[in-house]
Structure 1
Amino acid sequence: MDNWMTKQAALFPKRIAVDDGEERLTFSELVKRLEQLSGQLGRVGVLQGSRIAIMTKNGLLGYQMALAVLGSGQTIVWINWRLADNEIKRQVRDSRPTICLVEDALWRDSFHNGFMKFSQVQQIKSQPRQLVSQFNSGDVASVMYTSGTTGEPKGVMQTFGNHFSSAIASSLNLGLTSHDDWLCAVPIFHISGFSIIMRGLIYGMTVRLVSHFDPVLVDRLLRTEPVTTISVVPYMLKKLLDLRDQKSGAYNPDFRCMLLGGGPIDRQTLTRCQTYHVPVVQSYGMTETCSQIVALNDVDADTKIGSVGKPLFLTQLKLSENGGEILIKTPALTSGYLSRPEALFNKKTTDGWYRTGDVGHLDSDGFLYVDGRIDDMIISGGENIFPDEIEAVYSAYPGVDEVAVIGVSDKQWGQSPVAFIVSSKPLSTQKLVAYGRQRLAHYKVPKHFYQIDHLPTNAGGKVQRYKLRKRLNDR
């Protein structure tokens, strides 16, 4: 297949590829910038290997560095800049990149050999270097470490074919075109953010970059700029709805929808979305599938509350006969885990279905409901309890901003659920228990409620329950 960057520059040279609020680059201008960076990277010999790591926020220079690496025929290894030193170095050792390019603002004193600041690259004197003319479908475009909701991350290899299949399925679902303008406020080192960049190249649409999620800024951009789409997680959606409660003025007339990942929304949140005419497309996907593979369109949201929808084009889905695990087949599925060839094999059935590790059920109309992770399931007195169900109930409790549930050892029942709650005010345990007993089976009501300042989450906004377990053990 053609190099997506040079192809867009040839077809639509004056179309805006990226906008960070201060500078706007057309596809033609973008390719010239990428050729210059490619020349500079080639001058110091870092293009002699096969992988280059990148650690950056959602900045225009970081965006260009990533595409220069990709356009030079290299594989991007995305490094989460929020990680501790030992975690970063572990991933660098595992992926063995030629160099790790670091945004200047993220530089640490512990970085020595094998790390280079963006500014050092920019200071290299060199001639522009022509980008590769083609991308091969089976070549690995990016390596992205799973965010680690359960433990140590693995490097997910994402091919050009994976990204292309994901983009095509998404466009068929959302009706995206080159006239769209996608606001990227989620991290580009995470699949939710990087998929926007890749779709921008494939569709020829504008990517509107913001450095981080600032609800006040994002609300203003949605009202005043021609943004058509934004990717959010439940936390971001709720913060934006809070601002809708305070501000007058609808989003811009071109705005089409919010693409929600990280879990379905509750009835109360959906009602608020409808009140403010904010269409939400709920979705289900993972790093291993280059973003969403199942989606619930806004028109079905009211009658299918709690569902993540139906499989997109190119995705097949079924449930295992034993336990209801969600199994999938899709051309967007990873080619494997870096340095762990057996890991993907072990996650597939004998006839090639990929085991997601999630348990779910289908209704009579074929809509998927995700009950929870197999690893998170709590078995209490022989009954299976999924934290997601309990969290959905308590999310609607007045004063609860966020909630997460885990299972702890119980001498009588084997395990019992406990809840961690984020709230701006003290909450009565007695009232929380009474509330739960009115809406849940008694064995599902948490035995203890712990109020904390914030929940530990990964880059995609998913709660890292193993950190909550560690917190209890440390107590």
Structure 2
Amino acid sequence: MISGIDNVMNLGELLAQIARRLPDAPGFIRAGQSYSWRQLLTRVDSVAAALRARGLGKGDRLLVHSRNNLQLFESAWVAFRLGMVWVPTNVRITPPEAAYLGSSSGAVAMLYDEGMAHYVDAVGAASPALQQVIAIGAPRTGELSYDALLDEGAALQADFRPAEVTYHDPLWFFYTSGTTGHPKAGVLTHGQMAFVINNHLADLMPGLNAQSRSLVLAPLSHGAGIHALINVARGAACVLPASDRLDCDEAWRLVQEHRIDNLFTVPTIVKMLTEDPAVERYDHSSLRYVIYAGAPMYRADQCHALRTLGKVLVQYYGLGEVTGNITVLPADCHDAEDGPQAKVGSCGYPRTGMQVAILDEHGNQLPTGSDGEICVRGPAVFAGYYNNPEANAACFRFGWFHTGDLGHLDEQGYLFITGRASDMYISGGSNVYPREIEEALLTHPAVNEVAVLGLPDEKWGECGCAVIVVTAEVSDEQLLAHLQPRLARYKWPKRFVRWSQMPKSGYGKIVKKQIRALLEASEEPAL
């Protein structure tokens, strides 16, 4: 057996390398204030040195509850360079949910944003391991101030050296959305994430360089945070809107002002951006990569975005557990006119270095065109769920990671997602996949958003209920007439429910768990 070196580069070295190579170039821009790469590294190492002097270091967990801001961006690099595990939250969760993340991760330190002290109280009550609390704003008694740590570590940062790490050392606890039960902490490691960064550069944004600029429109705590790592690796500055909520006019103004060439978001945000009148007021010709993930984009929305922005859409499919690295559908495979290059309905082909298979319940690979569970393997797959052997046993079987998604591969290896295994329902003995029905309904000009769920039915076992948001009046009969040439009759929804809005997660995804609960309670989401 050949002996190798276990140690790998601490991923936090990416920031140091860029700071040495491009010290005065901008790295982070928000509200007219710009920080150079050298300033960012100095700030990060100052905080890291101050925390190390207080006893924090390799293997400790840092829980972060914050809106998108400079300190959230820096906290990832602080944790990486200390060898700590970064545990960011979705800022929209409730205090009890944050308490669960703090206790389940074993967080020993917590960084929190202004106005969110009640989250600290909830975490502290549930997490006996919590030792240090760091306030981005004014600290309370017994807490540390982020700004004070900057000052305290200023004299130490010149001598700071990042922690030594191995390939398998945890870097980030990437919590799942928790649509069923408690969220699970996916363990992302230094070695795995180095592969992910290279893979994103190869498959999503080839040619990214230090002149590139990235607009951050999604929470840095999850997918946008991974996207930010990619930009740092090439010295491309991240540009954050001043507003905490999506302001389409501000977004398009920033695209024009900073000559933004890449952004990462979810399909619902692409839809909002391209349907807003502001898209016509600003120059967006600098855009090269509008990357969307988190959910498939409905064909009608895809066509509108392509006609508005040009061929700049890039889709990738993946889960947090595989850090997005399952398939990619590059710009040349997107076509609003269904041309020969278009792969309509596909989420793309396997990512570089990754393998995708469709398996049955016994672990057998199914033939081309057959529906089954989408499974994947390769260096981007996470190390497993932290402290959750049952979940690991369920998702790692037959030598593959099991996504829980259903789909099939075509002759060229392009993947088509049918839906979530948990979304499928059985009506009159036939499997029904909501995604197919949703796509068909969205081709009706009056239907703006839709979610289809299987609900109990005395005669058929389950029948479909379509919750829709419409832009004009449309009867059930008109909708069924629209479906008639598109779908077999057994797939037609038995019931249509009209709401003024859909419940969505903090990442802009329609949340079927909430929709089901509201339907069972005969309620509509509050405006």
Deviation larger for 359-368 or 2-11: 2-11
Deviation larger for 445-454 or 23-32: 445-454
Partner SS, residue 337 of structure 1: coil
Partner SS, residue 447 of structure 2: coil
User: 2:442 is matched with which residue?
Assistant: 395
User: 2:301 is matched with which residue?
Assistant: 269
Taking structure 1 as the reference length, the TM-score comes to 0.93
Note if contact 1:219-1:243 (Cα within 8 Å) is conserved in structure 2: no
Match for residue 316 of structure 1 among 339, 345, 355: 355
Q: What aligned pairs does 1:225-244 form with structure 2 within 5 A after superposition?
A: 225-243=258-276
Q: Counterparts of 1:197 and 1:248 in 2: how far apart (Å)? A: 27
Note if contact 2:345-2:416 (Cα within 8 Å) is conserved in structure 1: yes
User: 2:475 is matched with which residue?
Assistant: 428
User: 2:112 is matched with which residue?
Assistant: 102
Match for residue 127 of structure 1 among 138, 150, 153: 153
Q: Counterparts of 1:8 and 1:341 in 2: how far apart (Å)? A: 39
| Higher RCO, Cα 8 Å, sep 6+ | 1
Match for residue 214 of structure 2 among 156, 177, 182: 182
Matched, 1:471 2:522: no
Q: What aligned pairs does 1:71-110 form with structure 2 within 5 A after superposition?
A: 71-108=81-118
Q: Counterparts of 1:32 and 1:460 in 2: how far apart (Å)? A: 31
Change (3 A) 1:428 1:131: farther
Matched, 1:223 2:256: yes
Partner SS, residue 126 of structure 1: helix
Matched, 1:138 2:168: yes
Matched, 1:150 2:197: no
Matched, 1:193 2:224: yes
User: 2:343 is matched with which residue?
Assistant: 304
Note if contact 1:43-1:126 (Cα within 8 Å) is conserved in structure 2: no
Matched, 1:331 2:357: no
Matched, 1:68 2:78: yes
Note if contact 1:228-1:257 (Cα within 8 Å) is conserved in structure 2: yes
1:335-371 deviation line (CA, Å, top 9, x unaligned): 0111113422321223x21111111111222211000
**Which one-letter code corresponds to 2:379 in the other structure?**
P
Matched, 1:13 2:16: no
Change (3 A) 1:458 1:162: farther
Query: 1:310 deviation in Å?
Result: 0.2
Change (3 A) 1:116 1:360: same
Change (3 A) 1:320 1:108: same
Change (3 A) 1:365 1:23: same
Note if contact 2:326-2:356 (Cα within 8 Å) is conserved in structure 1: no
Note if contact 1:101-1:116 (Cα within 8 Å) is conserved in structure 2: yes
Q: What aligned pairs does 1:240-251 form with structure 2 within 5 A after superposition?
A: 240-243=273-276, 247-251=280-284
User: 1:462 is matched with which residue?
Assistant: 509
User: 1:414 is matched with which residue?
Assistant: 461
CA RMSD of aligned residues (A): 2.3
Query: 1:61 deviation in Å?
Result: 2.1
Query: 1:384 deviation in Å?
Result: 1.2
Q: Counterparts of 1:176 and 1:96 in 2: how far apart (Å)? A: 40
User: 1:341 is matched with which residue?
Assistant: 389
Partner SS, residue 237 of structure 1: helix
1:418-463 deviation line (CA, Å, top 9, x unaligned): 0112235554233223322342211211111222233233333332
Note if contact 1:260-1:280 (Cα within 8 Å) is conserved in structure 2: yes
Change (3 A) 1:279 1:268: same
Query: 1:398 deviation in Å?
Result: 2.3
Note if contact 1:178-1:206 (Cα within 8 Å) is conserved in structure 2: no
Partner SS, residue 246 of structure 2: coil
Query: 1:268 deviation in Å?
Result: 2.8
User: 2:136 is matched with which residue?
Assistant: 118
Change (3 A) 1:41 1:245: closer
1:4-56 deviation line (CA, Å, top 9, x unaligned): 22122223322322222422222211111112222343455444861110011
Deviation larger for 113-122 or 439-448: 113-122
Query: 1:166 deviation in Å?
Result: 1.5
Note if contact 2:248-2:278 (Cα within 8 Å) is conserved in structure 1: no
Query: 1:92 deviation in Å?
Result: 1.0
Structure 2 unaligned regions, length at least 5:
1-8, 125-129, 138-144, 336-341, 362-370, 523-527
User: 2:49 is matched with which residue?
Assistant: 39
Aligned residue-pair number: 472
Query: 1:229 deviation in Å?
Result: 0.7
User: 2:292 is matched with which residue?
Assistant: 260
Q: What aligned pairs does 1:53-64 form with structure 2 within 5 A after superposition?
A: 53-64=63-74
Q: What aligned pairs does 1:341-380 form with structure 2 within 5 A after superposition?
A: 341-350=389-398, 352-380=399-427
Taking structure 2 as the reference length, the TM-score comes to 0.84
**Which one-letter code corresponds to 2:345 in the other structure?**
G
**Sequence identity, in percent?**
26
Deviation larger for 417-426 or 152-161: 417-426
Deviation larger for 132-141 or 275-284: 132-141
Q: Counterparts of 1:331 and 1:250 in 2: how far apart (Å)? A: 39
Query: 1:213 deviation in Å?
Result: 2.8
User: 2:6 is matched with which residue?
Assistant: none
Note if contact 1:196-1:207 (Cα within 8 Å) is conserved in structure 2: no
Q: Counterparts of 2:163 and 2:21 in 1: how far apart (Å)? A: 14
User: 1:451 is matched with which residue?
Assistant: 498
